[in-house]
Structure 1
Amino acid sequence: METNPSQTAIRPLQDSDPPVIEAAFAGIGWSKPAEQYERYLDEQRADRRRVFVAEVEREFAGYVTLNWHPDYPPFREAEVPEIQDLNVLPPFRERGLGAALVRAAEDAARERSAVVGIGVGLGSDYGSAQRLYVRLGYVPDGCGVAYSDRIVVPGERVVVDDDLVLHFTKRLAAEPAPAGRRGA
């Protein structure tokens, strides 16, 4: 079920958000301390990260970040910004909010890059995100899996946990020129 766009807002992270986000996730049993979002605010002010918050009827529903300087070496070396930390609260899932948040991050990435990256965990908890990224046009980056941002070499043993990730990229189409300006 899609969310009515008139009831949904996607906006930048604000100073008042960290305690609201912490409380929302605590309400579902997840530990996401306000300090994480205060760090995101600092990084947003320093132009190292952009953070987008989704609200439905003015209630916090989820967020995503865009890291301009990711730790994953293939993205860092190629200056590919990485979409990170997509989270939508369970009551707001299956409404198109995850896709809307990813598109907001893509729009921001387009300002500086023709390509954007994203990583997704390999465990079943990430199944919805895996399918979403493929639907949105992301393809594996071809480097194999990474553990804690380090590419895993053949024969190496790793734990399947939240740090085992497959990275994807997407080529971003240029934004269409405003009406009357095409071909100018």
Structure 2
Amino acid sequence: MEIRPLQPEDPPVIAAAFKELGWPKPVEQYERYLAEQTEGTRDILVAWVDGAYAGYVTVRWESPYEPFNGIPEIQDFNVLPKLRRRGIGTALMDAAESLVATRSDIVGIGVGLYSDYGNAQRMYVRRGYLPDGRGLIYDGRQVPPMETVRNDDSLTLMFTKPLKRT
């Protein structure tokens, strides 16, 4: 397995892999990520197994989630379903946390709440992430008590984890 930064030739490969799964992740998303990586606002780590794309994770250096206030956030963590449970996700998270630890002693992450996110929910807790205590977040906004929201990809719980700064 190789983990390396996103390269200019990667966006079409990654987008094609997700298109095959029926997931809406267009090539433009990865081209934007590449531009953000060049600007220094986001780093993207891509995993390859035997020369084939396997997954990726991004580190957004300035989280849009206001309560994080300067805490870098791990975002958009994906491993192809056929390659899960082989240590690829763990390796990507290790690499992302190591990268964050070069600049911060804490990292944030959000996770969706429906069952498709179940493996990620369990992984983050096992890795030492704890909820930030603000409850449900929808599109970056705290959901007030008694408000009804849709359980989609925008509904999350936000977590943080202390890191040993390197």
Q: Which TM class, normalised by the smaller chain length?
A: over 0.9
Structure 2 residue runs of 5 or longer lacking an equivalent are none
Identify the match of residue 83 of structure 1 among 74, 77, 85: 74
1:1-184 alignment to 2 at 5 Å? 8-75=1-68, 77=69, 79-175=70-166
TM-score, normalised to structure 1, is 0.88
Identity, % of aligned positions: 58
Runs of 4+ in 1 over 2 A off after TM superposition: none
| Unaligned residue ranges in structure 1 (runs of 5+) | 1-7, 176-184
Deviation at 1:70, TM superposition (A): 1.3
Is the Cα–Cα contact under 8 Å of residues 131 and 160 in structure 2 kept in the other structure?
A: yes
- Counterpart contact for 2:109–2:160, Cα < 8 Å: yes
TM-score when normalising by structure 2: 0.97
The 3-state SS of whatever aligns with 2:96 is: helix
- Pair member with larger Rg: 1
Q: CA deviation at 1:164?
A: 0.4
Aligned length in residues:
166
What secondary structure is seen at the aligned counterpart in 1 of 2:145?
coil
Q: Alignment partner of 1:51: what SS?
A: strand
Supply the AA of the counterpart residue of 1:147: Y
